[in-house]
Structure 1
Amino acid sequence: MGSVRKASAWLGLVEDSDERYYDDEYAEGAETGDAWVTDPRVRVASESAVEQGRRIATVSPDSFRDARGIGELFRDGVPVIVNLTSMEPSDAKRVVDFAAGLTFGLRGSIERVATRVFLLSPSDTQVVSGEAASRSTQDGFFNQS
């Protein structure tokens, strides 16, 4: 089929006589109406992450007013990465004070990840630092010395 004929068929100006693009199973499924049925074993990543508690929120507040959103996420048991790089220093300090009180009150932990970036972890979340991870691989399989 030539390119002009293909373009005409795509535009609907002529009938597409080239049926090689369709297989029989697809055509039968389209007729019965169940062509879009999803396999029940397939799960959306965000749904399985919520079920297993593997969701992490990243928040970049603009002002202290955004602290409430941080608190609500943390109260729901979601670890929160707070990026304060775009805030004024005085407001950033207030958010850090709020986050410290929040983590203390809910028995979580707060860790500085980078300059003006903090990780708030609920009490049931284990955070492995880079030092602990490097110690575990020094004596393990990856030791090439």
Structure 2
Amino acid sequence: MSIKNKIKTFFTMDDEYEYEYVNEEVSEHASNTKQGSNVINLQSVKASSSKVILCEPRTYEEAQQIADNIVNKRAVVINLQRVDHQQAKRIVDFLSGTVYAVNGVIQRLGSQTFLCAPDTIDVSGSISETLEEDTDKGW
């Protein structure tokens, strides 16, 4: 900032900010030497949380594997068409508890299809067309 701009700012009381952009590339060696630093190289962060797993369980025992994916910050779409109604209800109850534990969300996508997502994944919107048809089935 020059003296002229300082005087102008002092007398006019403008809230002007001056930003200086510095284009620096962090080498891999430099990032290794700053291990105690709070700076994270964004290129080194992988998008593992954006993975979606599709599951079609056949027994209640497979619910634990599905829950492990949710705990590991992966969204899971579950199709319960191959499971009888009682086991499907138990699976949904178990996964609801898992989703609650990780502050996630569980949403119904179809008559026997659910989406379980951890808190790292934003889910917006809802599907309500099939909900009216399935209330007669006891879901």
TM-score (norm 1): 0.53
Whole-Å Cα distance in 2 between the matches of residues 108 and 79 of structure 1? 9
Do the aligned partners of residues 110 and 60 (structure 1) sit closer, same or farther apart at CA in structure 2, a change above 3 Å counting?
Answer: same
Return the structure number with greater relative CO, CA threshold 8 A, min gap 6: 2
2:97 is the alignment partner of 1:101: yes
Contact 2:103/2:119 (CA < 8 Å) preserved in 1? yes
> What residue ranges of structure 2 are gaps of 5+ in the alignment?
1-44, 128-139
Describe how 1:35-50 pairs up with structure 2 within 5 A.
none
Whole-angstrom distance in 1 between the partners of 2:86 and 2:126: 30
Deviation at 1:125, TM superposition (A): 0.7
Moved over 3 A (4+): none
1:124 Cα deviation from its structure 2 partner = 1.4
Q: CA deviation at 1:118?
A: 0.4
Post-superposition CA distance 1:72-122 (Å, at most 9, x none): 111100000011011100000000000111111111110000011000010
- Show the counterpart of 1:69: 65
Which is higher, the Rg of structure 1 or of structure 2? 1
Paired with 1:111 and 1:85, the residues of 2 have a C-alpha distance of: 16
Q: Paired residues, what number?
A: 82
| 2-structure distance, mates of 1:104, 1:128 | 17
The TM-score, its normalising length taken from structure 2, stands at 0.56
The percent identity for this pair of structures is 26
1:51 is matched with which residue? 46
